[in-house]
Amino acid sequence: MEKRLIKKDALSGIINKLSEQMLVYAPVKDEDNVLFKVLEKGMEPLADYSNTRNAPKNFFFPKTETMMRYMRTERGIELSGEGEGAPEMVLFGVRPCDARSFILLDKVFDQEKYKDPYYIDKREKTTIISLACVHPPYSTCFCTSVGGHPMSSEGADVVLTDLGDKYLAEFVTPKGEKLLEKMGDLSKADDAAEATKEELSKKSEEAITSHVAGREIKPWLDENFEHPFWDTIHQSCLACGTCTYLCPTCHCFDISDEVKGSDGKRIRTWDSCMYWLFTKETSGHNPRTSQKQRWRQRLMHKFKYFVDNFDAIACVGCGRCVMYCPVNIDIRKIVNDISKL
């Protein structure tokens, strides 16, 4: 693994230089949200920010994706694909929890049984530069409870760690090392930098104040599909999609055809287990008719089904659903309440 040092005031220049050569997405302040946007000339990428409002999953798994187009002609139906595929790009400033979410999404979209060409194409052509959390950005962060770490390199190609006056840049993967070639001359990192990182890492882990019993509740979930506890979560739920849409790991989708005249397209759009239409079948039957059942689904999917299937919790502890739920349904509280049952 290559390790370099980048002076603090040089970072913005380096990223901007990259953006001249390829598509770079970076966190940018947009009114009172911080969002990932295409870095254009003159734009300043944010390096000192907490986290983006939305998770970066949309870069590989867009909210709406055209899978194919079709046209009704006199000769029959003509099918066509969608363009030449994804461009090479860099995703700069991803937080470790969000970077880790890509590893979890890979388990769904890029696995032995099923390979999703739409997802894989974009994922392969993207290099991820993550920004380690030297200080956990929010008091609602709980990455360490679900298998992550504020300074983890999981899912990242390059990890930047803020050492005060400079960044330690670790080029973790071959993809990351390839990017190094485009970044110009950078001085090699010394042992001191690594020692500082070690120290910061420990401190950051200790600074995380939210802890949930993420792994501990699995045996209870295995046994208690029908438990009165499930009657206690959903009542105030608005059944909106905020939690699932902002979530870095939620990946349920719907496929539908949109036809205008003789042209049609097949699109894949995000779905949400919070929506009443989520499991509605063509016959009209809906196996999950109540919000209670849908909430159980959300919890079970994250802390049981995903664990059964892929041996990992489908939550990275970013805390977005906690912070932005309009009615403050707090997954930390739910998990901890379950652990006390």
Partner 1 sequence: MENVEKQLREEAKRLLADKKVDVIVGYEEGTLPLQTVPCFITNPDDAGKLVWNSFCSQNLAKYVHDIIHQHRESQVRVKPEDKTRKVVGVVARGCTTRSLVIHLQERQYDRDEVVIIGVPCTGFVAKRKVSTLVDGKEILEAAVNGDKISVRTTSGDKDVPLKDVIADNCLNCHFNNPVISDIMVGNEAPPRDVDREYDSVNKFENLPLEERWSYFTKEMEKCIRCYACRNTCPSCYCKICFVEQSQPAWVGTGDDPTDVQVFQIMRMFHMAGRCVDCGSCVEVCPMGVDLRNFLKKLDKDGFELFAHKAGESIDKPAPLSTFEMGDKEKFIFEPESSS
Answer yes or no whether residue 328 interacts with partner 1 by CB under 8 A. yes
Taking CB under 8 A as the criterion, the residue among 33, 80, 111, 309 binding partner 1 is 33
Answer yes or no whether residue 262 interacts with partner 1 by CB under 8 A. no
Only one of the segments 107-115, 116-124, 188-196, 266-274 lies at the binding site for partner 1 (rule: CB under 8 A); that segment is: 266-274
Q: Which is nearer to partner 1, 103 or 329 (CB)?
A: 329
Per the CB < 8 A criterion, the answer to whether 191 and 135 are in contact is: no
Nearest 10 degrees: CA dihedral of 50, 53, 59, 65? 180
CA 266 to chain CA centroid, Å, is 24
Q: Which residue in 64, 57, 62 sits closest to 248, CA to CA?
A: 57
Scan residues 126-145 and list those touching partner 1 (CB under 8 A).
137-140
Per the CB < 8 A criterion, the answer to whether 17 and 184 are in contact is: yes
- State the number of binding residues for partner 1 (CB under 8 A): 41
End-to-end CA distance of the chain: give it in Å, rounded. Answer: 46
Crossing angle for the helix pair 331-339 and 291-300, nearest 10 degrees? 80
Answer yes or no whether residue 238 interacts with partner 1 by CB under 8 A. yes
Q: Which residue in 46, 51, 40, 50 sits closest to 16, CA to CA?
A: 40
Minimum distance from residue 81 beta carbon to partner 1 (Å) = 18
Answer yes or no whether residue 97 interacts with partner 1 by CB under 8 A. no
Minimum distance from residue 277 beta carbon to partner 1 (Å) = 6
Q: Which residue in 217, 233, 240 sits closest to 300, CA to CA?
A: 217
Only one of the segments 16-24, 37-45, 190-198, 267-275 lies at the binding site for partner 1 (rule: CB under 8 A); that segment is: 267-275
Calpha distance 199→302 (Å, rounded): 32
Answer yes or no whether residue 25 interacts with partner 1 by CB under 8 A. no
Taking CB under 8 A as the criterion, the residue among 88, 199, 206, 254 binding partner 1 is 254
Contacting residues toward partner 1, per CB under 8 A: 31-34, 50, 53-54, 63-64, 137-140, 235-236, 238-242, 245-246, 254, 256, 258, 267, 269, 272, 275-277, 322-324, 326-330, 332-333
